[in-house]
Amino acid sequence: MSPSKIQFPESTEVVSATSSPSWQIKLLYDGECPLCLREVNFLKKRDAGRGLVAFVDIADENYTPEAHGGIDFETAMGRIHAVLSDGTVIKNVEVFRRVYETLGMGWVYSATKWPIIGPIVDVLYGIWADLRLALTGRPNIATIVAERQKRIEGKSQGRCRLTQDSDC
């Protein structure tokens, strides 16, 4: 057992001794959405290499739900999600509130916490999220998910799969 790992006798789970990530919030974004990319580039500049926000492109074919709060690709495409450093998953406008607060710009979304403004902004975000793909000239979620799955399957079919009887 390496010195950075701790194994609990009552469990088979191995946990890193440095289980706290350096980031405070992990933002899951669609790297194929031009508007999302614009926002992410803005936020990356505000993060200025501090690593407070981990930016995760869900459109990357290597994206895995297990490493990102269990949020599958289709779910992440429907609404913006983030994972807090303690593993809590948040979504919708709350993601923007938390990311902006983390980067010291909480004032931008502070009005969305108010009793009247907050629910209106939440409804508007829901409408935006439902129309986002069409407004950016992209196919619907079902088509994007199917095309992604075909690409991933196509890549895996070209590789040698190891089995007990494999000669690879």
Which pLDDT score, from 0 to 100, does residue 157 have? Answer: 72
The DSSP bridge pattern shows strands 81-84 and 25-29 to be: antiparallel
Residues 6 or more apart whose Cβ sits within 8 Å of residue 18: 4
The list of the chain residues with pLDDT below 70 reads 1-20, 158-168
Which pLDDT score, from 0 to 100, does residue 117 have? Answer: 96
26-45 per-position pLDDT tens digit: 999 999 999 999 999 999 99
Q: Is the pTM of this model over 0.85?
A: no
Which pLDDT score, from 0 to 100, does residue 61 have? Answer: 92
C-alpha–C-alpha distance, residues 114 and 97, integer Å? 12
